[in-house]
Amino acid sequence: MSDDTAGAAIVLEDVRRSFRSGRRSVEALAGVSARARRAQITGLVGPDGAGKTTLMRLIAGLLRPDGGRIEVLGVDVARNPLLVQARLGYMPQRFGLYEDLTVAENLALYADLQNLSAGARAARYAELMRMTGLGPFQSRRAGRLSGGMKQKLGLACTLVNPPQLLLLDEPTVGVDPVSRRELWQIIEHLVRQARATVLFSTAYLDEAERCDQVLLIHEGRLLGSGPPEQFTAAMRGRSFIATAPIDRRALQERLARTAGVLDTVIQGGRVRVVTSEDSPDIRAISAAVPDLTLTPIAPRFEDGFVARLRARGADGPAAAAGTGVAQAQPAPYAQQAPGGREAVIRVSEVTRRFGEFTAVDKVSFEVKRGEVFGLLGANGAGKSTTFRMLCGLLPPTEGALRVAGFDLRTAAAVARRRIGYMAQRFSLYEDLSVRQNLRFFSSVYGLSGRRQRRRIDWAGGEFGLGALAEAKAGELPLGFKQRLALACALMHEPEILFLDEPTSGVDPLARREFWRRINVLAGQGVTVLVTTHFMEEAEYCDRLLIMAQGRVLTEGTPDAIKAAARRPERPDPTLEDAFIAAIGTGGAPQAP
């Protein structure tokens, strides 16, 4: 293996690190051994809380390992962290941009910090501006940039003095698919042209497929390493697209309970199926649903991850969540929500201005009862503003919004009882226990006495939170935080549910479990409005609305939006392809 070591930019040997959280000790990394090769992109892939950031900080010499050895570019990090730091560039999750400085000033500041000689600056700035496409925005304050542009500027600042090794900690989080693709192009260019070594951490599993090598970590352990094809190769012949003339949710439900099926995911009007056997008994599965067609498709990275997680059995919280998916049908509400299929959310000609800037420009759409509706858009497209207006957090400048027949800005507080809201990053009271959170949110929604006790018991049982009732919300693993947040939003059985990037960063099994619950709710007549950057989530929606520059770009079912992006060279576009195509063609400002 000496040959391998010579080509390795990073060598990890049995790296361990724990943190204290209150009285408990949490093992963030439980013995990780791996290598990252020079002049390649190594993906550090895993859900939030897997230990990615800890590993990055250990490699950068910002943390000391409890045990094991880390060698970076041939230097032992523990012995000589300063030498290592001089040779690497590290872009943490929240890169330290100075929001009150302009793009150019930020760049100059980092050039000063990294001792870039005055003579080399002009050429380097021009190169970075060209690479990131930030040239036209040099005099804009960093605080006024969109999420994607901020990440690009952060990357540019990290690259001012070209490092031999680049550590990028989740640079694509909160970044829309278009900017995400651009960031990837910059990084790939860097590796191919400048022969830099990149360690790229991400919770988006689809990004793993763009890496040369993948280190898949989960709960502090290395689940596998190798080129991404190696993960998918094992899954060859096990992935199918299922179609049948019944509702897609019912189809998924049936398939999930069929023997021999490992995993099911809704994709538009179809269901993606992964079988548990290498040589699947297609006929047995086909028999489970009348008129089922199974079309083989190429496996993807996520299939491999899910298979590994399921194979590990019920020894982790995420795995426990996984087994929950295949079990009994959850029954969130006692009763079916009343009413027919009329529109419960109506947005007509809504405009929102912030000073001179028009964030939302004459947007109109409707959402019917029981529909799962997705609001998509690039960073700064106005979808968050629209979402906040719908929730009553922001008044529109012009136009009218009606949610369940009310404008939530002006309606009596009681009207808000009909909606549930789950914020991004699961806004829970982290110092309070699970039970205290549940009690608080149910009381605030007017629940009391027996009904309140019943709902708290329901949440404890339904979401597997019973045993954790006295644990502080802040100390829960991410998957459980997400469950608690959903439980809190559902305590009062709202008929409309607002979700803001509900499964960003959680592991694939937790995401499946979450959407399974949402599907059941929709089946009971609950209307769900989701805003997300995450195309996986968008696939679950009945209908999507894509916004760009404050306007509605396109609206339709995921399948229709994909179909519109079909080209001869791209016969079966993904939703991400379709999204990027839509933004690309319609993103330019339109004449009024």
CB atoms near residue 176 (< 10 Å): 24
Question: From the CB of 399, what's the least distance to another protein, in Å?
Answer: 16
Question: What stretches of 524-557 show up as alpha helix (H) in DSSP?
Answer: 535-539
Q: Per CB under 8 A, does 439 bind another protein? A: yes
Stretch that binds another protein, among 159-167, 441-449, 456-464, 575-583 (CB under 8 A): 441-449
> Closest Cα partner for 405 from 363, 369, 360?
369
Contacts of 216 (CB under 8 A, 6+ apart): 45, 46, 208, 222, 223, 224, 225, 231, 305, 308
- Taking CB under 8 A as the rule, which mask of x and - marks residues 495-534 in contact with another protein? ---x------------------------------------
Is the CB of residue 422 less than 8 Å from the CB of residue 489? yes
Note whether 280 and 215 are within 8 A (CB): no
Nearer to another protein, 388 or 512 (CB): 388
Whether 182 contacts 152, CB under 8 Å: yes
Choices 41-49, 152-160, 235-243, 421-429; region in contact with another protein by CB under 8 A: 421-429
Find the part of the chain contacting another protein (CB under 8 A) among 85-93, 191-199, 407-415, 552-560.
407-415
If DSSP states are collapsed to H, E and C, what string results for 209-262?
A: HHCCEEEEEECCEEEEEECHHHHHHCCCCCEEEEECCCCHHHHHHHHHCCCCEE
Q: Is 455 a binder of another protein (CB under 8 A)?
A: no
The answer to whether residue 367 forms part of the interface with another protein (CB under 8 A) is no
423 touches another protein by CB under 8 A:
yes
Q: Pick between residue 501 and residue 542 the one whose CB is nearest to another protein.
A: 501
Assess 469 for contact with another protein (CB under 8 A): no
Beta carbon nearer to another protein, 375 or 578: 375
Nearest to 540 by CA among 305, 266, 332, 324: 266
What is the C-alpha separation between 28 and 218, in angstroms, rounded? 10
> Footprint of another protein on residues 326-345 (CB under 8 A)?
none
Task: Give the nearest distance from C-beta 396 to another protein in angstroms.
Answer: 11
The residue whose two tokens read 């919300």 is 473
Determine, following the binding rule CB under 8 A, whether residue 417 of this chain makes contact with another protein. yes
Closer of 284 and 444 to another protein (Cβ):
444
Out of 7, 74, 96, 395, the residue judged to bind another protein by CB under 8 A: 395
421 binds another protein (CB under 8 A): yes
Nearest of 572, 499, 543, 487 to residue 248 by alpha carbon:
543
Residue with tokens 């959170």: 437
- 302 backbone dihedrals φ, ψ, rounded to 5°: -60, -35
Report how far residue 177's alpha carbon sits from residue 171's, in angstroms, rounded to the nearest whole number. 12
The strand order across the sheet containing 165-169 reads 88-91, 165-169, 197-202, 41-45, 213-218, 221-226
Choose the binding region for another protein from 207-215, 257-265, 367-375, 412-420 (rule: CB under 8 A).
412-420
d(CA 490, CA 337): 13
414 binds another protein (CB under 8 A): yes
| Residue 39 binds another protein, judged by CB under 8 A | no
The reply to whether 436 sits near another protein by the rule CB under 8 A is yes
Q: Which residues of 193-228 are buried (b: 16+ CB within 10 A; e: fewer)?
A: eeebbbbbbbbbbbbbbbbbbbbbbbbbbbbbbeeb
Q: State the nearest-atom distance from the C-beta of 20 to another protein, in Å.
A: 14
Contact status: 441 vs another protein (CB under 8 A): yes
Please report whether residue 424 would count as binding another protein according to CB under 8 A: yes
Is residue 431 a contact residue for another protein (CB under 8 A)?
Answer: yes
Binds another protein (CB under 8 A): choice among 122, 123, 413, 467: 413
Q: Whole-number minimum distance, CB 524 to another protein, in Å?
A: 21
Give the Å distances, CA to CA, from 99 to 125, 141, 154: 19, 6, 11
Rounded to a whole number of angstroms, the minimum distance from the CB of residue 432 to another protein is 6
Q: Is 408 in the site for another protein (CB under 8 A)?
A: yes
- Residue 491 CB, nearest approach to another protein (Å): 10
Asked if 401 and 385 count as a contact pair (C-beta separation under 8 A), the reply is: no
| Burial bucket for residue 271 (CB in 10 Å: 0-12, 13-18, 19+) | buried
| Smallest distance from another protein to CB 257, Å | 35
- Interface residue with another protein among 160, 265, 391, 506 (CB under 8 A) is 391
Q: Decide whether 279 or 448 has the Cβ nearer to another protein.
A: 448
Structure tokens at 268: 């538009």
CB atoms within 10 A of CB 416: 20
The window from 109-117, 292-300, 350-358, 384-392 that contacts another protein (CB under 8 A) reads 384-392
User: Cα 494 vs. chain centroid, distance in angstroms?
Assistant: 25
Task: Give the range of 53-61, 420-428, 537-545, 584-592 binding another protein by CB under 8 A.
Answer: 420-428
Q: How far is the CB of 488 from another protein (least distance, A)?
A: 8
Closer by beta carbon to another protein, 225 or else 452: 452
CB of 268 to another protein, least distance (A): 30
Total residues in contact with another protein, by rule CB under 8 A = 33
Distance CA 444, CA 422 (A): 15
Q: Which of residues 95-154 bind another protein (CB under 8 A)?
A: none
C-beta of 270 vs 416, nearer to another protein: 416
Quote the radius of gyration of the chain (alpha carbons, Å). 25
Q: Find the binder of another protein among 178, 394, 506, 538 (CB under 8 A).
A: 394
Residues that bind another protein (CB under 8 A): 388, 391-395, 408, 413-414, 416-417, 419, 421, 423-425, 427-432, 436, 439-441, 443-446, 448, 472, 498
